[in-house]
Amino acid sequence: MTVTSTCCTMAKSSKSDSKKKVVKDAKDRRTVVARGLKCTSCGMEDSLTISTYTITEFFKEGMLEVVYLCESCGWRGCDVYPMNEGRAERLEFRVEKEADLNVHVARSSTSVVRIPELGVEIKPGSSPEGYITTVEGILDRIEAAVKVKARSGTVARVVRQMREGKKPFTLVIEDSAGNSRIASRKVKKTGI
């Protein structure tokens, strides 16, 4: 089963921020890097804001999340980038206990996510987006996507067992740009 990724982090937007002014918010580590641009989705001038978020808590080298938000049509997009340059690689993480579900994952828009035990993969769609979540968050996304599919009962049952730590599984991320990360020492990395 193939799932197309369409989720991203929602950025906070404030119309009181001045155009193209860099604004730092200590609470959410957001920096508005551009405001008042033309939206590529609706074509409205002066409506697109580009913000960046720096995340350092879970990824030792730090991650940068870039969020695009149109105040006119509501279109949003995002992606994640490591602070250090990446290379094409395959990340493999074996989830063997319930605590492993809390491991943080940065999935870039260029990556394919697989859980072989489920026969599921998440491929970039026509408007791919990156996101930062946990291993359990990946399971949530898969479960939400398969509810639309005919196999939802079987997959939901197996996902429930995985969440309870009763069924070990492998999370595989293949990223041609090398921008994805799994925040664990147990990760096996190989070049692709």
41: CATH = 2.20.25
pLDDT score, position 105: 94
Least confident of 117-121, 147-151, 181-185: 147-151
pTM: 0.70
Annotate 120-155 with b (16+ C-beta within 10 A) or e (fewer). bbbebeeebbbbbbbbbbbbebbbebbeeeeeeeeb
Check whether residue 107 and residue 177 sit in a common domain: yes
pLDDT at 5 over 70: no
Print the domain residue range for 145.
Answer: 85-191
Which of residues 60, 82, 104 is at a domain's end? 82
Residue 1 domain flag:
no
Q: Are both 112 and 181 inside the same structural domain?
A: yes
The verdict on residue 15 lying in a domain is no
**Is 3 among the domain residues?**
no
Same domain, 95 and 156: yes
The pLDDT of 50-76, averaged and rounded, is: 81
**Same domain flag for 69 and 90:** no
